[in-house]
Amino acid sequence: MTEAEQLEELCRRLGAAPAQAAIMAAQLLKRADQLAAERGEPRAEALRGLLEVLVKGRAGEVPARFAPPPRDPPAAS
């Protein structure tokens, strides 16, 4: 099974229709290549980060690196 096929299967398991899963897999691979080139990081690491965002987003979670900073409590008057 190719990398693209594995990603398609993952996307289908996360609820995407087959045609949409194929598009999502292609986009993930393309963006992983772009991030690897831009950041000088291994492609596998770039893909891992994208998959983390995908899976957490599907679960309604925000990956830690995208979470807003904690707010200061209101000043007492």
b/e map of 10-44 (b: 16 or more CB within 10 Å)?
bbbeeebeeeebbebbeebbeebeebbeeeeeeee
3-state class of 44 per DSSP? helix
Task: Fill in the amino acid letter for 60.
Answer: G
Supply the pLDDT for residue 77: 63
Evaluate whether residue 37 is within a structural domain. yes
Supply the pLDDT for residue 69: 80
Show the tokens assigned to 24.
């999502």
Supply the pLDDT for residue 64: 80
* Domain interval for residue 34: 3-62
HSE toward the beta carbon, residue 20, CA cutoff 13 A: 7
Evaluate whether residue 57 is within a structural domain. yes
Question: Domain tally for the chain?
Answer: 1
Evaluate whether residue 12 is within a structural domain. yes
Evaluate whether residue 11 is within a structural domain. yes
Evaluate whether residue 74 is within a structural domain. no
Task: Fill in the amino acid letter for 41.
Answer: E
Evaluate whether residue 50 is within a structural domain. yes
Q: Is 0.85 topped by the overall pTM?
A: no
Those residues of the chain that have pLDDT short of 70 are 76-77
Supply the pLDDT for residue 51: 94
